[in-house]
Chains A and B, each alone.
Chain A
Amino acid sequence: MTDLPTPVEAAAPEHGWRDDLRRLRGSVSFVVGAVIVLFWVGCAVFGQSLVPFDPFADDLMNSLMPPSSEHWFGTDQLGRDVFSRVIVGARDILTVAPIATLLSTILGTALGLTMGYFGGLIDEVSSRLVDAVLALPTVIVALLALTALGTSTFTVLVVIAFSFAPIIARTVRSAVLSEVSLDYVAAAELRRENTLYILFIEILPNVMPPILVETTVRLGYAIFTVATLSFIGFGIQPPSPDWGLSISANYGLIGGGFWWAVLFDCLAIASLVVGINLVADGMESTLND
């Protein structure tokens, strides 16, 4: 037995979330994206108390003033300060979209785990349903649902949650499929673990990276969708200073030269979605290698 050495620990990289975070910090995309997103989150949370004007207060005698040193982004039709409205405008969308995304992630993950792990008929039937939902663009599904159920923030939330869940389910399913073929699942079955334990304690942690990335990407699309729905009048409802809504209300003015009433909102939406997707991009290239 003397020849059996006590093995020396091999030089292996530090691992775990701390390490992931450290590597994420090295990703330019992630850092830039995170800064943008955090900026808007800050605006959503504290914006109301930081902005120079009450974003809801009208000043009819000073409507549609171009950007100036007093009103940095000018004023809108009711004389409200566009800058203040853009800053506070982050609030509703950054409430609705993340909640919808979270819901869809929970739903989609549960569905994807079930489909991937059980396979067979459950997988077939669910896949068909998923296909049926995915056959339609989210905006159309949302239009249909919002027409049927009436426009409300809650409906928007539910519609996005339900139309994104299949996409997440599909991602989770394929990740789970490759996990299920791994022997640790068999090993768990061989110690008679119950199904929930196998799904959520054994498999789930290993498919978290793709879920995280997908969730982040979905968050970007949730914002995309909520903004689009607000723009076509089925999303966030007035009098919110929401960006999509403001653009919808004011884009008729651009022909009259009042570009400031929409351009800053446009840039705000663009920066937020790009920020989120930079975060996703950073996460994807960091977590998936």
Chain B
Amino acid sequence: MMLALLTLWLLSVLIFLGGHLLPGNVGRAMLGPLADQAAVDVLNHEMGTDRPLLVQYLDWIAGFLTGDLGQSYAYRSPVAPFLMTALLNSAKLAAVAFVLVVPLGILGGVVAALYRGRAADRILSVVGLSATVVPEFVSGIVLILIFGIWLRWFPISATWVDGAGPLTQLYHLILPAIPLVLILFGYIARMARAGMIEALDADYTRTAVLKGLSYPKVIWRHVLRNALLPTISVIATQTVYLIGGLVVIEILFHYQGIGSLIYTAAKKKDFPMLQAGVMSIGALFALTTFLADLLYARLNPRIRFGGRE
């Protein structure tokens, strides 16, 4: 936990410095080139961006600790509500992606491992690998082209009408979720396959087989449990990498999530928003890593019960 906090602190410094390396001034960037200089100066003073860097950092971090994420330069209003909405939206999209990909990925990995070296394995490996490395915007555009424009099966925008029911929301989120699913599928399947193969080759599996246990029982009781442990922690840490993909997907499908929040903040040089967005991802990373460790420890008796007595 201390380590996670230390990591977060380092991250905050990196982010803040990153946000303030920019030459020039915030007011000008916000108001645009043609705005009057007087307006720019007033704005800079109002936002406190004419103060020394250290003061700004301390002010920022102090605000952060007390839950005040600062004022958006662009919207002149608190960052927090924007961030919350964005996080919630992204969580929905991520959830759809996860719900689709986790079972698929694990299943793919398990099947590949069980048919190791055969056609099914090779196909799954190559497909998984290819899916993992093709950028989201590429698969996204191809999907839009095929399912949104040619076949017209799915809406090509992720935004739904206000007050739409969960099913409608889900319907809108499926197409955007697929590129994320593709990215994660190969990764999870690969991990699951590796874990499975290790477990299948393990002596304890041999023990189970030689006990005369039936094949399904061997897999279910002895192999899966040990095979999927590392996969679980990998899945958890993927949450954050998912966000990298969210930036592109949310832009492509016009979805107001954390990715597009960060992207627009970056474009508009709305640093409080950008910093808060990026910090929230850092915090999310720390949190998921922590939870993954907990989960891993919960499932792994080696950690749960410590060493030999």
Closest Cβ neighbor of A256 among chain B residues: B149
Number of interface residues of A (CB under 8 A): 46
Which B1-24 residues have C-beta < 8 A from chain A?
A: 3, 6-8, 10-11, 14-15, 17-23
Which A residues touch B267, using CB under 8 A?
147, 233
CB distance from B250 to the nearest CB of A (A): 11
Q: Mark A residues whose CB is within 8 Å of B.
A: 29, 128-129, 131-133, 135-140, 143-150, 220-221, 224, 227-228, 231-234, 244, 247, 251, 254-255, 259, 262-263, 266, 269-270, 273-274, 276-278, 281
Which secondary structure dominates chain A's binding surface? helix
Q: List 20 A-B contacts (CB under 8 A).
A: A128-B7, A129-B10, A135-B286, A136-B278, A137-B241, A137-B244, A144-B18, A146-B266, A147-B18, A148-B18, A150-B22, A150-B23, A221-B133, A227-B135, A227-B137, A244-B135, A255-B149, A266-B141, A270-B139, A277-B129
Query: Contact at B145–A263, with CB atoms within 8 Å?
Result: yes
Query: Contact at B274–A147, with CB atoms within 8 Å?
Result: yes
Given the contacts A220-B133, A270-B134, A132 and B263 also touching, CB distance less than 8 Å:
no
Q: Mark B residues whose CB is within 8 Å of A.
A: 3, 6-8, 10-11, 14-15, 17-23, 125-126, 129-130, 132-139, 141-142, 144-145, 149, 240-241, 243-245, 247-248, 251-252, 262-263, 266-267, 269, 274, 278, 281-282, 285-286
Given the contacts A143-B266, A224-B135, A276-B133, A136 and B281 also touching, CB distance less than 8 Å:
yes
Which secondary structure dominates chain B's binding surface? helix
Number of A-B pairs whose CB atoms are under 8 Å?
144
Q: How far is the CA of A135 from the CA of B266 in the complex (A)?
A: 18
Query: Contact at A148–B19, with CB atoms within 8 Å?
Result: yes
Query: Contact at A263–B129, with CB atoms within 8 Å?
Result: no
Q: How far is the CA of A233 from the CA of B281 in the complex (A)?
A: 22
Q: How far is the CA of A137 from the CA of B247 in the complex (A)?
A: 10
Given the contacts A129-B10, A136-B281, A148-B21, A29 and B135 also touching, CB distance less than 8 Å:
no
Q: How far is the CA of A251 from the CA of B142 in the complex (A)?
A: 10
Closest Cβ neighbor of B129 among chain A residues: A277
Closest Cβ neighbor of A129 among chain B residues: B10
Closest Cβ neighbor of B270 among chain A residues: A147
Closest Cβ neighbor of A263 among chain B residues: B145
Query: Contact at A145–B18, with CB atoms within 8 Å?
Result: yes
Q: Which of B23, B135, B142, B266 gathers the greatest number of chain A CB atoms within 10 Å?
A: B135
CB distance from B3 to the nearest CB of A (A): 7
Knowing that A140-B278, A269-B134 touch, tell me 12 more A-B residue pairs with CB under 8 angstroms: A137-B240, A140-B243, A147-B266, A148-B22, A224-B133, A228-B136, A232-B137, A234-B266, A247-B141, A255-B149, A274-B129, A277-B130
Which A residues touch B247, using CB under 8 A?
137, 139-140, 143, 232
Query: Contact at B10–A274, with CB atoms within 8 Å?
Result: no
Q: Which of B20, B126, B241, B244 contacts A29 (CB 8 A)?
A: B126
CB distance from B243 to the nearest CB of A (A): 5
Which A residues touch B6, using CB under 8 A?
128
Q: How far is the CA of A131 from the CA of B11 in the complex (A)?
A: 9
CB distance from A278 to the nearest CB of B (A): 7
Which B residues touch A137, using CB under 8 A?
240-241, 243-245, 247, 281
Given the contacts A29-B126, A228-B136, A274-B133, A135 and B22 also touching, CB distance less than 8 Å:
no
Q: How far is the CA of A138 from the CA of B3 in the complex (A)?
A: 21
Query: Contact at B282–A135, with CB atoms within 8 Å?
Result: yes
Q: How far is the CA of A29 from the CA of B126 in the complex (A)?
A: 8
Which B residues touch A150, using CB under 8 A?
22-23
Given the contacts A136-B282, A232-B247, A147 and B22 also touching, CB distance less than 8 Å:
yes
CB distance from B261 to the nearest CB of A (A): 11
Q: How far is the CA of A276 from the CA of B248 in the complex (A)?
A: 22
Which A residues touch B3, using CB under 8 A?
128, 131
CB distance from A17 to the nearest CB of B (A): 25
Closest Cβ neighbor of A280 among chain B residues: B129
Q: How far is the CA of A224 from the CA of B245 in the complex (A)?
A: 11
Q: How far is the CA of A176 from the CA of B8 in the complex (A)?
A: 27
Q: How far is the CA of A185 from the CA of B167 in the complex (A)?
A: 61
Query: Contact at A135–B135, with CB atoms within 8 Å?
Result: no
Query: Contact at B135–A147, with CB atoms within 8 Å?
Result: no
Query: Contact at A135–B126, with CB atoms within 8 Å?
Result: no
Query: Contact at B244–A138, with CB atoms within 8 Å?
Result: yes
Q: Which of B15, B132, B149 contacts A254 (CB 8 A)?
A: B149
Which A residues touch B18, using CB under 8 A?
144-145, 147-148
Which B residues touch A274, using CB under 8 A?
129-130, 133-134
CB distance from B266 to the nearest CB of A (A): 4
Closest Cβ neighbor of A28 among chain B residues: B122
Query: Contact at A132–B7, with CB atoms within 8 Å?
Result: yes
Query: Contact at B11–A140, with CB atoms within 8 Å?
Result: no
Query: Contact at B129–A278, with CB atoms within 8 Å?
Result: yes
Q: How far is the CA of A185 from the CA of B132 in the complex (A)?
A: 38
Q: How far is the CA of A37 from the CA of B263 in the complex (A)?
A: 31
